Amino acid sequence: MTLSRRAALHLIAQGATLTAASRALDLTGQTAVNPASPLLTRTIPSSNEKLPVIGLGTWQTFDVGDTPAETIPLEEVLKAFVDLGGKLIDSSPMYGRSEEVAGNLASKLKLHDKLFIATKVWTSGKAAGIQQMESSAAKLKAPRMDLMQVHNLVDVQTHLETLQSWKSEGRIRYIGVTHYHAGSHDAVARVLTKHPIDFVQINYSVGERDAEKRLLPLARERGIAVVVNRPFAGGELIRRLSKQPVPSWAADADCQTWAQLLLKFVISHPSITCAIPATSKVNHLRDNMAAGAGRLPDENLRAKIAAEALR
């Protein structure tokens, strides 16, 4: 029997009404997705700290106003994210009000000590970079940022010097770089090779596999954690695949929906630390988080996922 994304989401939403007492805890005290399948984690190579394999992006979804109609759905998303064991939430000053909204909600829900907060610097010049990063920390209400990334390598040398100093002073915990375009992978690789980087954030999905050629092997070789944005290729994969049934062999990876299959394709790559799908809907959040539990596909099943998703 196969399930459509809508039908599977309905089942997941029903399951979410179980009480907290019915949820299991893994060895680190994280809430598991269900009693039988704790949320999987990956180790940050530079520290051995563990992160759950599914995080939360904020691009577009958290860029909203202050009205209850806009913020209450996101409050539900953030609360469910933490309840289900999520930690890494990623933002940027280029995402409109996303930092401010995320910070306000995390403060309201008293979740800062349960989150791994990541954002970016996206400007030129040392002084401007410092001002922007301090503004981001204030908006996110984070006394110490977990991860600060140089967005799209903008003035990367200047900002990495500042970030190295801030890391030494304990103002940030980890340093990263990002890029959204495969045409810049060579430039990203040069930075990863030259500088002591903890994280790199790149696009990777069934539909965008350029990172497999160089960046993912390089990150593994140099002990750099990899955060994946656009795990659904910007949503176009989900929109197309929602019109066709989930294959019966999805059960071999403990998946019930296409969203789960696509996310498991991403996180099953050995170089990937965490994928950060963005959503403003709590039922989609629960669907995404379910991909972080259970069995991961082997190479044969990864190939089947890619072939079926792209045919």
Domains of the chain: 44-289+305-309 (3.20.20.100)
Q: How far apart are CA 197 and CA 193, in angstroms?
A: 9
48: left (phi over 0), alpha (psi -120 to 50) or beta: left
Whole-number pLDDT of residue 37: 65
Greatest alpha-carbon span in the chain:
59
Residues of the chain with pLDDT below 50 are: 1-36
Whole-number pLDDT of residue 4: 44
- Cα 225 to Cα 22, 51, 89, 171, 295: the distances in Å are 32, 10, 15, 20, 21
Strands 116-121 and 88-90: parallel
Whole-number pLDDT of residue 10: 41
Backbone angles phi, psi at 37, to 5 degrees: -135, 95
Whole-number pLDDT of residue 9: 42
Whole-number pLDDT of residue 16: 37
Could you tell me which residues come within 8 angstroms of residue 92 by beta carbon, excluding any fewer than 6 positions away?
Answer: 58, 59, 98, 99, 119, 120, 122, 151
Whole-number pLDDT of residue 32: 35
Tell me the pTM.
0.87
Whether the CA torsion 43, 44, 46, 49 is positive or negative: it is negative
